[in-house]
Amino acid sequence: MIAFSSPIVDYHALAPELVLAAGLCLVLLVDLFVPDHRRWITGTISGFVLLGALLPIVTLAVWGDDVRDAIGGPGISGRYVVDNFALVLKALFLLAGYVVVLLSTHEMDEKSGYQGEYYVLLLSSVLGMVMMASSRDLISVFVALEFLSIPAYMMAAWKKRDRKSNEAGVKYYLLGVFASAVMLYGMSLLYGIAGSTQLTEIGKAVTLDGDKVGIQVLGVVFVIVGFAFKVSAVPFHTWAPDTYEGAPTPVTAFLSVASKAAGFVGLMIMVYLAFPLARDVYRPFMWVLAALTMTIGNLVALKQKNLVRMLAYSSVSQGGFILMALAMAYTNGSEESSLRAVIVYLIIYAATNLGAFAVIIAVARRTRSAEIASYGGLFTYAPGLTVMMTIFLASLAGIPPLGGWYAKFGAFRAAVDAGGGWGYSIAIIGAANAVVATAYYITVMREMWMKPVPENADTSSVKVPASLQAALAICGVATLAFGVVPGIIAKVGAITDLTGAFGG
Amino acid sequence: MIQEQQWLLSLGTFLPLAGVLVMLFIPKKDEATAKGVALLTAIATLGVGIYTLVKFDYDQSEKLQFFTTNKWISPIKATYTIGLDGISLPLYILSMLITVLVMIYSWNHVPEPGNAKAFFILMLVLQTGMAGTFIAQDLILFFVFFEVVLLPMYFMIGVWGGENRQYASLKFFLYTMFGSALMLVAFIAMFIITKNNAADPEAANFSFQWFNENGPDVARNTSIWIFGGMFVGFAVKVPMFPFHTWLPDAHTQAPTQGSVILAAILLKLGTYGFVRIAIPFLPQAAKTWAPIIAVLAVIGIIYGALGCLAQTDMKRLIAFSSVAHMGFVMLGISTLTPLGINAALFGMVAHGLITGMLFFVAGSVKERYHTLEIKRLSGMLKQVPHLGWIMGFCAMASLGLPGLAGFWGEFPAILASWNPAQILTDPSMGNHEMLYRVLTVIASFGTVLAAGYLLWLYQRTAFGEPTGEFSGHGDDDHGHPDHGNTDIHDVNVFEWVAWTPLLVAILVFGVVPSLMFDVMDPAVQQLTSVFGK
């Protein structure tokens, strides 16, 4: 029995979380006191809060030690860690959150109201994600996951009078809590085996030999299933298209990028820290998930007539590529390349997909529609948006010199690096899927560039509000830069110190 | 490697992008300025190309010149390594020349639905991709450039093409994507295997030099698989039978400019990939694949020729003739001999000049007659004598008449296939001499067919009297409503300016082929040295 001693808190390391927490209280308060027509100010404050939280990340990256316990002390150290891995992903979540704020500004101001509440929930969700990146313990992983999910359930149902939005929220909520329950059960099994909630301890205990192999396997599988819901891996993806379509578009952007990335971060932490010796369970399991996710996501995406729905399935299929890289962790020494591949993929995918949603929002302000047919002839009256959309779609398709190619490259490299039957077979499946995927991205391009403008459409030039322009600029520049000089992103992604992984 | 004037190739490659940047700020309405800036950029780029041509050290054309290497994507060991040797020099310059000529032609020929600004921007982007592919000396860099051309060409066909443009452009895109996905996996696999084999894995990188040195050590069975991945990627682009089906559609539907660029340069990216990457990096696999390539190449020759005979559309006929001509190029490559590969490289340039020219002619015929249906055309020599003569000249060049450039691509390729490289005839490793000799005979028969379809085409369209429909006093039932006799004029100034350099080049390289052979040969000799003889 260890006597209780109060934990040592490293406030510098915790600063991003603290800024966010203070910021969301501030937004809540401001919301109470400003008149209705000036509620937009909550959005502005949220944007500043997110950028403000980035500052300590920069200082930590520049001056901090490589690894620090945000909350230390006997029996507590190593459970909430700030390392380079955490910093990079926190920065990603904050920036993605910032872009989502930019996307939301006009949508929320013009349409639904309840702006203050919306931004509070958004900030809470981002806070959950930021926590996820540092969590190295079952409890903090779970708390972070719930923290990021529960606000998202509400945000999905934000269009109160819209049936589809309500459906989106309910579906997401029900399947989400179900997944949490499954995961929690898996976690309890893991705890039972290891006698500790610390992931590295679990990693030592889950060795797949001894007399409790069955329980170990169940624990691993259940945890992966739980995260598979979060990252909408087939066959646990059924909520994604309906939720994405029904939710307000900025929320969809948030879910398909940030929330998904957070799921992958959680999965990554579990695989690298808790399951390094359980490869024979997670590799075949995730191999199958990856193959199904890529293939089914793609095949269904081919048939979509609604762009948001199509992007939903496309994001399912993109998740398959990430799973492909992750499934090959700890195969023939490929753990580093797959870790890098996943991180790089998440970052590039975030920039690209957010950009695509920015265009959708900008176009929908005019056409009031996300049907692919409504994009007919966009090139003739909104050439700028068309070119931007082309860039984002081509990047999603993985065509050089746009960011997406490097993401795909990394994923293939991880698979081929692992080699053997598992690696090569999934790489070939991935290659085939990369081709199928281009087919539906290209239908959108075709619509924009080659089809005539639909009848009765207003073809005066489209005005894009400043906040959307900023979002487009950020995403566009990032997508191009990541593709032309992938060195910048590769450097960020070249992380070898997911603390506790690789036996460190 | 000669590391002088290291900036030269980068300048030549990226100058078009600078032009694109400027053009972005020109309002869409101001078409003349946009076209002017684009053309000036292309001419400046060609100027850089000519300077390169002057500064190139022809006594050392087997060495990479203007070589430079810089960091690019350090974590994956990809570098920005570029250089030019005798193999890539002709293609590099050709791409610049073709872009300028196509732009001159486009000056008053911007196809429907207009928007000259976007059209010219796409051509400049294409130019960067094409030139970049030929100078890249790093596999990842090569891959990126190789793919850069994809989208501009897709839009060029899909937006400015003919009636079936959407189908054709999608087909083009998906075929190429399919090829490049497998190619990329093959590249990565080759890198990882050579890295694991190497004494010092840390030294591994994606530069061509690394693969030239370490690729041959890849175990034979593995290398056959990797070669297979690259084969699909390059063969789709060439295109080789049976991956050729996108080509007739793409060519037929593309605007004239797109067809010319496609025929003159884009198809060469595939054959260039074979010569530069697949064969030298994986010589063991090349040996195994060579007979297969040879057989497919000859099937392509015969199939393309028969396809030509069956066509009723002039442009589609030229497209099928491309399949046949690229068959000769691939046959030359498959011999793995210096003669064969020299012939292939010559054939690539010659095909670029001649078929590019034929597509120009087809475009102009279409513009005048509003149809390319062979049976509706007749008597061009009477009605538009200059155009008719130019077409005759190109048809002769295309069928391989000695004295014109086409001959030097076909004849040596056939010749080389009689005596393929030693390792292909080595009895202990499976003797393929008989196979190649049979192929020689069939391929020669292909030249006869070529003469057949080209002369038949020429006879039907150029000889005889102009059909009533177009001679001004016929009924105008199925013609374009606003065309009349006045519409059918002979070659105009823009066409003369755009075409003369090509026509001169076809003649000059036909009479003095050593101009090109001398540049290429040292590099080819070095390349084939691994195969003996």
Q: Is the pLDDT of residue B477 over 50?
A: no
In B, which residues are within 8 Å of A397 by CB distance? 177
- How confident is the model at residue A89, as a pLDDT? 92
Mean pLDDT of A10-32: 92
Distance of CA B10 to the CA centre of its chain: 22
* Residues in CB range of A146: below 8 A, 6 or more apart: A128, A180
Q: What confidence category does residue B479 fall into, taking pLDDT thresholds of 50, 70 and 90?
A: very low
B71 interfacial to chain A (CB closer than 8 Å)? yes
User: Hey, which of A34-38, B172-176, B487-491 has the most confident mean pLDDT?
Assistant: B172-176
Contact A485 B72 (CB under 8 A): yes
Bigger pLDDT: A308 vs B488: A308
Mean residue pLDDT across chain A: 88
Mean pLDDT (whole number) for A53-82: 82
Calculate mean pLDDT across residues B99-112. Answer: 89
SS (H, E, C) A142-166: HHHHHHHHHHHHHHHCCCCCCHHHH
Contact B378, B312 (CB under 8 A): no
* B27 and chain A in contact, CB less than 8 A: no
CA distance A341 to chain B (A): 11
The DSSP secondary-structure symbol of A210 reads S
Residue B14 has pLDDT above 60, yes or no: yes
Query: Nearest residue of B to residue A337 by CA position?
Result: B76
pLDDT of residue A498: 64
User: Using an 8 Å Cβ cutoff, are A107 and A253 in contact?
Assistant: no
Q: What is the pLDDT of residues A77-120, one digit of tens each?
A: 788 888 888 889 999 999 999 999 999 988 777 766 688 889 99
Q: Mean pLDDT, to the nearest integer, of A23-33?
A: 92
CB-nearest to A412 from B72, B73, B188 is B188
Interface contact A409-B188, CB threshold 8 A: yes
Contact B159 A485 (CB under 8 A): no
pLDDT above 70 (res A421): yes
CB-based contacts of A122: which residues, under 8 Å, 6+ apart? Answer: A46, A97, A100, A101, A104, A151, A155, A254
Residues of A in contact with B159 (CB under 8 A): 379, 449-450
Q: Is the pLDDT of residue A50 over 90?
A: yes
CA distance A445 to chain B (A): 9
Query: Could you report the per-residue pLDDT of A110-147, keeping only the tens digit for each?
Result: 766 688 889 999 999 999 999 999 998 999 999 999 99
The pLDDT of residue A64 is 67
Q: Where is B71: in which H helix or E strand?
A: strand B65-73
The reply to whether residue B118 touches residue A383, judged by beta carbons under 8 angstroms, is: yes
Kindly determine whether residue B192 and residue A487, on different chains, have CB atoms separated by under 8 Å.
no
pLDDT at residue B466, as a whole number: 81
In whole angstroms, give the CA distance from residue B233 to residue B227.
10
Rounded Cα distance, A476 and B531, in Å: 48
Q: How far apart are CA B374 and CA B380, in angstroms?
A: 11
Candidate from B74, B144, B192 with C-beta closest to A400: B144
- Work out the average pLDDT over B220-241: 91
Q: Which residues of B touch A406 (CB under 8 A)?
A: 73
pLDDT given at position B474: 46
Q: In the predicted model, is pLDDT for residue A503 greater than 80?
A: no
Q: State mean pLDDT over A233-257.
A: 90
> Are A399 and B147 in contact (CB < 8 Å)?
yes
Residue identified by tokens 């063991």 is B284
Higher per-residue pLDDT: B340 or A499 = B340
Q: Which of A261-275, B62-76, B129-143, B298-312 has the lowest mean pLDDT?
A: B62-76
Q: Which residues contact B351 (CB under 8 A, 6 or more apart)?
A: B263, B264, B267, B322, B325, B326, B329, B406, B409
Determine the Cα–Cα distance for residues A205 and B272; give it in Å rounded to an integer.
55
**Where does the pLDDT of residue B235 fall: very low under 50, low under 70, confident under 90, or very high at 90 and above?**
very high
Report whether pLDDT(A33) > 70.
Answer: yes
Name which of A428, A449, A485 is nearest B155 (Cβ-Cβ): A449
Disruptive mutation site among A378, A393, A416 for chain B (greatest number of B CBs within 10 Å): A416
- Percentage of chain B surpassing pLDDT 90? 58
Find the mean pLDDT for residues B442-461: 92
* Residue A2 pLDDT: 59
Q: What is the DSSP string of A410-462?
A: HHHHHHHHH-HHHHHHHHHHHHHHHHHHHHHHHHHHHHHHHSPPPTT---SPP
Find the radius of gyration of the CA atoms of chain B.
Answer: 23
Higher pLDDT, B429 or A13: A13
Distance of alpha carbon A343 from alpha carbon A347, whole angstroms: 6
* CA separation for the pair A476, A249 (Å, rounded): 19
- List % helix, strand, coil for chain B (3-state, nearest 5): 75, 5, 20
Q: Does B174 touch chain A (CB under 8 A)?
A: yes
B446 to chain A, closest Cα gap in Å: 35
* Among B144, B154, B192, beta carbon nearest to A416: B192
What are the φ/ψ torsions at residue B324 (nearest 5 degrees)? -65, -45
pLDDT band at B476 (very low <50, low <70, confident <90, very high): very low
Average pLDDT over residues B83-92: 92
Name the least confident of A200-209, B130-139, B273-282. Answer: A200-209
Is B159 in CB contact (< 8 Å) with chain A?
yes
Over residues A332-338, mean pLDDT: 79
pLDDT tens-place string over residues A358-405: 999 999 888 888 888 888 888 888 888 999 999 999 999 988 889 898
Chain B residues near residue A423 by CB distance under 8 angstroms: none
Cα atoms in the Cβ-side hemisphere of radius 13 Å centred on B80? 14
What residue of A is the nearest CA neighbor of B112? Answer: A450
Lowest-pLDDT choice from A121-125, A348-352, B428-432: B428-432
Nearest to A412 among B158, B159, B185 (CB): B185
Q: How far apart are CA A118 and CA A115, in angstroms?
A: 5
Residue linked to tokens 């507590």:
A76
Chain B residues near residue A427 by CB distance under 8 angstroms: 185, 188
With 90 as the cut, is the pLDDT of residue B490 above it?
no
CA distance A27 to A14: 20
The confidence band for B71, taking pLDDT boundaries of 50, 70 and 90, is confident
**Residues B254-269: what's their mean pLDDT?**
92
Sole residue written with tokens 């030099």:
B209
pLDDT digits (tens, 9 = 90+) for B380-405: 888 888 999 999 999 999 998 998 99
**Does the pLDDT of residue A414 top 70, yes or no?**
yes
Confidence (pLDDT) at B485: 53
The answer to whether the Cβ–Cβ distance between B75 and A439 falls below 8 Å is no
Closest CA of chain B from A439, distance in Å: 7
CB contact (8 A) between residue B181 and residue A416: no
| Phi (first) and psi of residue B82, to 5 degrees | -135, 155
- Range B74-101 average pLDDT: 91
- What's the one-letter identity of residue B337? T
Q: With a cut of 60, say whether residue A499 has pLDDT above it.
A: no
